[in-house]
Amino acid sequence: MNSPRSSSKPTLLAVLAVVLAGSAALYHGSSGFRAISTEGARRIAVAERPVPAPPARLAGADGNTILLADELARDGRIALVTFIYARCQSVCRVVGTELQTMQEQILAHGAGDKVRLVTISFDPRDDARALDGYGRMMKTDPGVWRLYGIPDAGERQGLLDAFGVIVVPAPLGEFEHNAAFHVVDRSGRLVRIVDYTEPDAALAAALARAVEGA
């Protein structure tokens, strides 16, 4: 019969192996323990390695279409990109309200030549009429804040994947989705992601990026 001491050794080794494996997974999932979630790790990764926006054709609230790359690079301003759908009654309303405040701050501080707002709907039902209605409701100034949809499903999903936006259909034609402010530089690269609860930090990051490249 084995002694209690000898029988405990395999168990101890097994526990140690599990702990080490878990630590390794946490290390990689948290970008070297610098973030406590995969979302935090993704934001660190974007800050260290900017992500080029994939090809996509945008359809505007005015009925016109433009390539995403051309829209992002059209006038040398830094863009704060957000993703919503016009029928949303939850987080999108919060984001929309914060964007209204951002628009006011940009205009009040004469920063319209440095930073602008680009909001993209991921709902294929959001045509030009729906986007125009949303823009009227939010009192968007086209010189500062523009609204778009992406008609092509493949291009739409490619952009969502590149920006780390997860959209899950929900009952009654709604969607569950994450939200953030995405800072995009003059080259059309996603350079920073700021949580939607930190609009002041997002605007400050965009203005700082604009000054750096001035």
Q: Where are the domains of the chain?
A: 4-46, 51-212
CA distances from 75 to 72, 143, 191 (A): 8, 11, 18
The pLDDT tens digits for 4-61 are 444 444 564 444 444 444 444 434 433 344 445 677 888 899 889 999 999 999 999 9
Question: pLDDT at position 133, please?
Answer: 94
Which pTM was predicted?
Answer: 0.81
Question: pLDDT at position 139, please?
Answer: 95
185-42-197 Cα angle (round to 5): 75
Question: pLDDT at position 212, please?
Answer: 83
Question: pLDDT at position 213, please?
Answer: 64
CATH of 51-212, one of 3.40.30.10, 3.40.50.720, 3.40.50.300, 3.10.129.10: 3.40.30.10
Flag residues of the chain having pLDDT under 50: 1-9, 12-35
Question: pLDDT at position 55, please?
Answer: 94
Cβ atoms of 156 and 122 within 8 Å: the answer is yes
